Structure 1
Amino acid sequence: MTIVVTTPTGHVGSRVVRVLIQAGVRPRVLVRDPARLDAQTRGRVEVRVGDLTDAGFVRDAIAGARTVFWVDPTPHTAEEPVETSRRTAAPLAAAARDGEVARIVFLSSVGAERRHGVGHIDGLARVEELFDASGADVLHLRCGYFFTNLLLGLDDLRRGVLTTTAGPDQPLAWVDPRDIGEVAAARLLNDGWSGRRVQAVHGPEDLTFTQVAAVLTEVLERPVRLRTVGDDDLRATLGSAGLPAKAVEGIVGMMAGTRDLVPEQSREVTTTTPTPLSAWAYARLRPLLAV
């Protein structure tokens, strides 16, 4: 059984690779920079070096594989983020239509079920549609808000500020990417499902940004206050940083388009993962902010 893993050095992909190795599988990993794989991992995987935006590389690299774990590599700063996500996934969808790939597990997001109006998440919706039309067995993992998104605001957190455009009392599903990786690996290893499936990965509990600030205050042992900014303020900040207009709207739209979202999948045993934000923040965030 050959399992292909894309973005194997990312927050989710690295965990998928580790679990597959521990399960006795030698995954094939598609990576731009093999030096980012630690030495022990490199010796236990099949490495294909290339760029996921290169259609020829993708088709060659997945040849002979039965199952692919696909993570959209499109950065939020891309000039055409939604179209780039769709175009990058197209070679895998074509391989599935041609019978070269039988199963796809796709790292999607809550909000993709809306299909339109959710910023860059619209790109994930386009990818879902491509894979659904391919004829392969497909599983979409609709994931909540990554704990690791907090790493993007380290400078603010050093000043004791948590900044967001979300409503302060808007509950969001917060999740540890390592837990997502474990769910993905379990699904990749399980041959007992078929057809089109959707599975949410919601983390252990929904949290508002007010609650997140309180958790960080306790973990960091210093006050963290919440600062909310409007969509126009965020647009201005991103625009002044030189981001293209569609990239700006892709970023703004992700939060704006999910403000009143009730996820399509409810919270229950298959959608709830164990790691609390406090444990992740203590292990990952606190050392980075130690004075």
Structure 2
Amino acid sequence: MTILVTGATGTVGRQVVEQLAKRGADVRALVRDPAKASVPAGVTVVQGDLLDVDSLRGAFSGVSTLFLLNAVVADEFTQGLIALNVARKARIERIVYLSVIHSDLYVNVPHFAGKFGVERMIEQMGFNATILRPAYFMSNDLAIKDVVFNYGVYPMPIGAKGLAMIDARDIGEIAAIELIRREQASGPLPLERINLVGPDRLRGADVAAIWTEVLGRAIAYGGDDTAAFEQNLRTFMPSWMAFDMRLMSERFLTEGMIPEAGDVERLTALLGRPLRSYRDFAAETAASA
């Protein structure tokens, strides 16, 4: 019985692979370039791409459970649908899919809408699935740590509604737990959605205060200018992606990323330990700088 992990070398995928390997699972990691893949001992690496149907057919052969992760790319929705169709042809019935929290609420944000479409197809195609819906990744802020450290500003326009930011390591461990639960089940388990959130609901001012405490000097919140945010992003990513991120940040300001009642308690029970906090993340980041 084999669990296949897509996106196996990315921020979340590598955590999933590591956690599965720790638990003794038979893991197959799908990567674009096996020569560059670093995986734990015992993990099988297979070459493939979510738009290369032939490579997927080979990678999916003999797989019992699939972890499906699509990166934020222009053809993300197409990738997801191809993977689901190839999985069905390969008789894979058990899936854990990495979606995003509020995918059904942030309807104008392209990568949220794409993930919600994949969620709907998982339902329509009758897969036995867990749909994981993570909030904002703490590790996203690694991209702006130099601005925090060198200019004293936290520049992400996350607003005052609050984001329940989560550590990617917690996402990976929860995904591994769910994959093994489905893999080892004696029969089909019902479709389930799980919000993946951190322990705190953080506003822009809260995050700036955490960095102030950790660094021992004043860090200001940069404010809610999403147009300026888009322009800054365009210096290092495609314009369509920068616009997608701007649309997402605008929904941060109007809706936030709010857990449902019981989410934190459910995840804490699932992990058997507290969720990692943003303060822990900031302290680790500062210590490694």
Q: TM-score, normalised by structure 1?
A: 0.86
The C-alpha deviation readout for 1:25-59, integer Å capped at 9, x for no partner, is: 120000123344436x1x31111013233233223
* Superposed counterparts of 1:1-291, under 5 Å: 1-38=1-38, 41=40, 43-75=41-73, 81=74, 84-98=75-89, 100-114=91-105, 116-158=107-149, 159-167=151-159, 169-191=160-182, 192=185, 194-239=189-234, 243-244=238-239, 246-258=240-252, 259-261=254-256, 263=258, 265-266=260-261, 267-272=263-268, 274-283=275-284, 285-289=285-289
Deviation for aligned residue 1:216: 1.3
- Tell whether the 8 Å contact from 1:175 to 1:202 is kept in structure 2 after alignment: yes
Instruction: Please give the root-mean-square deviation of Cα atoms over the aligned residues, in Å.
Output: 2.2
Q: Which stretch has the larger CA shift, 257-266 or 270-279?
A: 257-266
Alignment partners' CA distance in 2, 1:35 and 1:219: 39
1:213 maps to a residue whose letter is A
- Distance (Å, rounded) in 1 between the aligned partners of 2:18 and 2:194: 21
Give the distance between the partners of 1:34 and 1:25, measured in 2 at CA. 20
8 Å Cα contact 1:117/1:257 also seen in 2? no
- The alpha-carbon distance between structure 1 residues 7 and 132, as it changes in their structure 2 partners (threshold 3 A), is same
* Contact persistence 1:235–1:252 (CA under 8 A): yes
Q: Does the 8 A contact of 1:58 with 1:91 survive in 2?
A: no
Distance in 1 (alpha carbons) for counterparts of 2:79 and 2:287: 36
- 2: CA distance, partners of 1:235 / 1:205: 26
Aligned positions, number: 277
- Give the partner amino acid of 2:200: E
Q: For residues 113-147 of structure 1, give each alpha carbon's deviation from its aligned partner in whole angstroms, at most 9, with x where no partner exists.
A: 22622342112112212222222111111111111
Out of 98-107 and 183-192, give the one that drifted further: 98-107
SS in 1 for 2:249: helix
Q: Which amino acid aligns with 1:256?
A: E
Distance 1:179 1:164, change over 3 A: same
Partner Cα distance (2:251, 2:57) in 1: 34
Offset of residue 211 of structure 1 = 0.9
Q: Distance in 2 between matches of 1:230 and 1:210?
A: 14
In terms of fraction of residues, the more strand-rich structure is 1
- CA offsets per residue over residues 62-98 of structure 1, 9 Å max, x none? 12211111111234xxxxx3xx111011222113443
Q: SS in structure 2 opposite 1:228?
A: coil
Alignment check: 8 A CA contact 2:162 2:258 kept: no
Q: Distance in 2 between matches of 1:86 and 1:242?
A: 19
Gaps of 5+ in 2: 269-273
TM-fit CA distance, 1:262:
6.2
Is the CA contact (8 Å cut-off) linking 2:129 and 2:191 kept in structure 1? yes
Cα 1:240–1:21 shift into 2, 3 Å: closer
Instruction: Check whether the contact 1:179–1:274 (CA below 8 A) recurs between aligned residues.
Output: yes
* Structure 1 gaps, min length 5: 76-80
Report which stretch shifted further, 181-190 or 49-58. 49-58
Is the alpha carbon distance of 1:163 and 1:270 closer, same or farther for their aligned partners in structure 2, counting shifts above 3 Å?
same
Counterpart code for 1:128? E
Instruction: Tell me how far apart the structure 1 counterparts of residues 38 and 232 of structure 2 sit (CA, whole Å).
Output: 36
**Partner-residue secondary structure (3-state), 2:155:** strand
**Cα distance in 2, alignment partners of residues 16 and 235 from structure 1:** 31
Question: 1:121 & 1:243 partners in 2: Cα distance?
Answer: 18
